[in-house]
Structure 1
Amino acid sequence: MAVRKKATEATEATEMAVEQLETVDTPAVEEVKEAPAPKAEKKAAVETAKGVVSETTHQLGIFSDYIYNARNEGVDIVVENLGYGDVYVHERGVAKVGDLTQRLTFGESRTFPATSKVYAASASQPVIQILELK
């Protein structure tokens, strides 16, 4: 009988502690909304402003560099990351993997106005689309 009495007392003590916790007023928590990250420019908007002269899709290899030479003179080159990893692009010199100013994540694009060459590098195997706009 002594064991049952101790178990009952322990249960009652636990129930009282739970009741006390339930009655404690907690301050209201305010929801903090973060501003959405700026989205990359949409390809459709770019295409309507200027005409597409040339379109190329290329999948980079692991830890590889890619140099794109414009096929036409006086064009703007748009590079868009279509997925499978990040790509790093630059218009002067070799792109550096890890440089956040050169990085394009999935769905992002970057326009290089009046450029004849674009350099791309990756540490994975991203697919990129390159548009020449006139």
Structure 2
Amino acid sequence: MKGGNRTRLPRVAEGIREELAELIARHVKDPRVGFVTITAVEVSPDFAHAKVYVSTLADPATIPELLEGLQHAAGFLRRELGRRLRIHTIPQLTFVYDESIERGVRLAHLIDEAVAKEPGRDDEGEDRGA
């Protein structure tokens, strides 16, 4: 990888993430695409492809439809990115569901349950014997 790409790649990825978040929130009217968060963007070293990680708090059963709606809007989104960003190559966009937030919520819930069941705590999770 060229030296300039090492710093440029993350800046381009962040620019794409910010612009996509705004474009999706304000301009994508597809009913399959509800409230969505762009959690990360990974751009290939040649800037030809970008993997866009998305998350939503919607029903997990709707995730395939959400991804389908985003992929359907990919051409429009690329065209708008081309107008907004100053980069030579606008990458092909691939949308991927990011399960990390969902996993984090599940893990936090499990930790809360374990702490609540800890011996020496009352029903509100307060220490009784200190």
TM-score interval for Structure 1 and Structure 2 normalised by the shorter chain: under 0.3
| Higher radius of gyration, 1 or 2 | 1
Give TM-score scaled by structure 1 length.
0.22
Give TM-score scaled by structure 2 length.
0.22
More helix by share: 2
